[in-house]
Amino acid sequence: MQKIKAVVFILFISLNTHAQNWEVNLLNDINPQHPSSSFWQKTSSSTYAVSVGVPATQLLVGFIKKDKKLQHQGWQTIGGLAINTLVTQGLKYTIKRDRPYEQYPLLINPYTIETDKSFPSGHTSTAFSVATSLSMQYKKWYVVVPAYAWASSVGYSRLYLGEHYPTDVLAGAAIGAGSAWLSQYLNKKLFTKKTH
């Protein structure tokens, strides 16, 4: 029985090490020694400006034009961002994963040192929340494609700048998209008038 436990323990450790290695190796391939690209820095820093600007514009134009639908869309976008922030920050403080440059200081080169935890990526989750909200509200290719291209670029920028692991970014994308979907679902359930 002791031998079986030892084999299971060794197998568990080797699988975890292997799983982590693919992620670190991929991040090392993306993250340059000196992540100084102003394009990726600006892409990353655009996240919060866009996430404030989109719902603010929806609400402002909606109130100016007295367009209830546009106002509703603005509040729905804000709802998605609120859900996203609660989930993302809750996971960061629950999981407490160190940033990759803290765990692998000789391998990963950060653009800047951030003080919060790594999992999930808040920039990515925020970008995907906005992109998904816009894509559900305006189901046109010329909205959907640029919205998701921008959100994906934000996710990539977080890897390039050495701030997150790939799984942080993937989880962020899923949380952001799910938050926007949940906001739309709750808005329909709570605020759409019944026709019967």
Q: What is the pLDDT of residues 167-188, one digit of tens each?
A: 999 999 999 999 999 999 998 8
State the pLDDT at residue 194. Answer: 54
CB 129 within 8 A of CB 84: yes
Distance CA 20, CA 186 (A): 37
Average pLDDT, the chain: 88
Please answer whether residues 139 and 11 qualify as being in contact, where contact means their C-beta atoms are separated by less than 8 angstroms.
Answer: no
The three-class DSSP label of residue 82 is: helix
Reported pTM: 0.84
Asked if pLDDT for residue 75 goes beyond 50, the answer is yes
Give residue 20's pLDDT band: very low, low, confident or very high (50, 70, 90). low
- Report the CATH fold assignment for 2-191: Vanadium-containing Chloroperoxidase; domain 2 (1.10.606)
Query: CA of 124: how far to CAs of 51, 53, 88, 194, in Å?
Result: 11, 16, 10, 35
pLDDT of residue 147: 97
Reported in sequence order, the residue ranges of 76-191 that DSSP labels E, i.e. its strands, are: none
**Nearest Cα to Cα of residue 123 among 83, 178, 84:** 84
Distances (CA, A) of 92 to 60, 75, 87, 95, 110: 33, 25, 9, 6, 19
Residues in the chain: 196
Whether pLDDT at 43 is above 70 = yes
